[in-house]
Structure 1
Amino acid sequence: MRYQIELFFTALGFFTRLPVPAWVPWSPERLNHAARYFPLIGWVIGAIGAASYLAFAWILPPTLAVILSMAVTIRATGAFHEDGWADACDGLGGGWDKAQVLMIMKDSRIGSYGTVGLVLMLLAKAVALIEIGIEDDLSVVLALAVAHPLSRLASTSLIHLLPYVREDETSKSKPLARRLTPAELLIATIFGLLPLALLHPLEALAAVLAVTAVTLWSARLFIRRLGGYTGDLLGATQQASELACYLGILIAWNFI
């Protein structure tokens, strides 16, 4: 049990800016096995986002509460996944071949594709959550609680299904470049799907279908352009899947 707790804190320290206990050891091998808890980190970030939204909505209009809660979650993760989305937009948008795409994504500077993509992604997520909040504040809380774990499961599935294509040993995501064992994949799946029980069955179904569609499309794109995934592409998948989850919920409302 202690080892599992250590793996959880290893994942928490890698995927967020949140402090972890000093007694937790770190090694590439532990990070390798910590991928099973990637969706569980979504529980933490979803809870932070939900609590922030409720606190802000108590004293501010819902629109501002959504935007500020997004800022809090971005701060908690260090914009880890947003950075991946921007890099992926730059690389896939501006690169012609595999080598050029990888080179562009490695560049710490943001380009036109990344800037436009990041602005549109943040805007789309904000508007989607504002629309969800038209029902009531609880709807936003539930959407956040579901979208963050489910979107991180989408990224974890790519770690399991696709090969890692960056050969640079200094890459931050290199320790994660290993297929999950069946037991690890089961753990990730449970933590990713369990929050769906909070939603209406049609909302849950629509969210799963939307996230699955985005994940499969992303996998096809990554294989076609690069032959596999990189850390930036995992972050991009998380962002796209999170938005897909919100959109799935909104679509389901037309049939409830």
Structure 2
Amino acid sequence: MMPRAELLRDVVADLRIAASFVTILPVASSKPAGDGAIARATWALPVAGLLVGLAGALVYKISIRFGLTPNLAALLALATTALITGALHEDGLADTADGLGGGRTRERKLEIMRDSRIGTYGVCALILSFGLRWGALATIADPLAVAFALCAAQTAARAGVPAFMSLVPPARPDGLSASAGAPPGGSIAIAFALGTLALALALGPAKALVGLILLSLAGLMLARLAIRQIGGQTGDVLGAFEQTGEILILLVAASFQMGR
């Protein structure tokens, strides 16, 4: 059995690795990124997502306190989450939309996804992503409810990433996704449990169930599309998966809010 001190060091190292990939915060990892460390640390992605959600929620509350409307506060909250993550997932969404929508062959699609320039499909995807999330937060309006929704969305959207990485093979032998490797079963299970717990605590059992179903369906659809068009997943596809999850959870929270 692993000593408690060593276990704690491994947990802290995994949290640092996850935070370094999810955010631009200067979080140094005490654990080498090689030898499967990244894959093992994927269980901590939901925890890193929770920090992003809390930052967005804080900015939203402060904005409301200073008299801004929910529309403006929602924009500032989304800008905060994008700033903290370095717009990593938004970039992945745009590249995935450009690649899957623009190329005719597998090679051309992968080439487009590696191109730093953004195309029409990518612009449209970003407009839809920010627009839907902005509208959902503005609809929820109440600062406490927004905080719960943001934390649930940021956490749950990353909870399925380890499973997606494990079930969908890398589309190419190089790149971040391929070098990270397939997460072990324990990391997949912990991440899923953390995401489910966040949804249940923040949105309640009924909303959590709806969110889980939608996330699962979206993941299956994206996986099928990625395998058919480019032969698997890339880091950009993982970013698109995360963005889709955020959108769905916030829409679920907003729709139930309207139904009260």
Instruction: Return the TM-score normalized by structure 1.
Output: 0.92
Which residue among 43, 48, 51 is the counterpart of 1:41? 48
1:68 alignment partner in structure 2 = 76
Q: Contact between 2:171 and 2:233, CA under 8 Å: does it hold in 1?
A: yes
Counterpart contact for 2:161–2:241, Cα < 8 Å: yes
Cα distance in 2 for residues equivalent to 1:190 and 1:253:
25
**AA aligned opposite 1:143:** A
Residue 5 of structure 2 corresponds to residue 2 of structure 1: no
Distance in 2 (CA, whole Å) between partners of 1:177 and 1:57 is 43
Q: For residue 60 of structure 2, what is the amino acid of its counterpart? A: Y
Contact 1:202–1:252 (8 Å) recurs in 2: no
Q: Residues 128-177 of structure 1: CA distance to partner in whole angstroms, max 9, x if unpaired?
A: 111122xx221111100101111111222211211111223xx2333323
* CA-CA distance at 1:198 after TM superposition: 2.2
Q: How many equivalent pairs are there?
A: 250
- Alignment partners' CA distance in 2, 1:183 and 1:116: 37
Instruction: Quote the residue 1:108 is aligned against.
Output: 116
2:145 and 2:257 map into 1 onto residues whose CA distance is 12
The one-letter amino acid of 1:18's match is L
Report percent identity of matched pairs: 36
Q: Distance in 1 between matches of 2:132 and 2:220?
A: 21
2: CA distance, partners of 1:154 / 1:214:
11
Is the 2:46–2:159 Cα contact (8 Å) retained in structure 1? yes
Question: How do residues 204-243 of structure 1 correspond to structure 2 at under 5 angstroms?
Answer: 204-243=208-247
Are the equivalent residues in 1 in contact too, given 2:177–2:233 (CA < 8 A)? no
Q: Which residue of 2 aligns with 1:162?
A: 168
Q: Which amino acid aligns with 1:193?
A: T
Farther off after superposition, 229-238 or 37-46? 37-46
Greater Cα offset, 29-38 or 89-98: 29-38
Q: What are the Cα deviations for residues 102-132 of structure 1, in whole angstroms up to 9, with x where unaligned?
A: 0000001111111121122111110111112
Partner of 2:151: 145
CA displacement at 1:36 relative to structure 2: 1.6
Counterpart mapping for 1:47-62 below 5 A: 47-59=54-66, 60-62=68-70
Letter in 2 for 1:35: T
| Equivalent pair of 1:92/1:101 in contact (CA under 8 Å) | yes
What is aligned with 1:91? Answer: 99
In the alignment, what sits opposite 2:138?
130
Pair 155,9 (structure 1): closer, same or farther in 2 beyond 3 Å: same
SS of the residue aligned with 2:24? coil
Q: Among 6, 12, 15, which residue is 2:22 paired with?
A: 15
Shift of 1:3: 1.4
* Counterpart residue identity of residue 252, structure 2: G
Q: Tell me if structure 2 keeps the 8 A contact 1:206–1:249.
A: no
Unaligned runs of 5+ in 1: none
Is 1:31 equivalent to 2:34 in the alignment? Answer: no
> 2: CA distance between counterparts of 1:121 and 1:84?
12
Q: Give the aligned residue type for 1:34.
A: A
Deviation of residue 4 (structure 1)? 1.6
Distance 1:233 1:39 in 2: 18
Per the alignment, residue 195 of structure 1 pairs with 198
TM-superposed deviation, 1:207: 1.7
| Counterpart Cα distance in 2 of 1:36 and 1:76 | 20
Matched-pair contact (CA < 8 Å) for 1:32–1:175: no
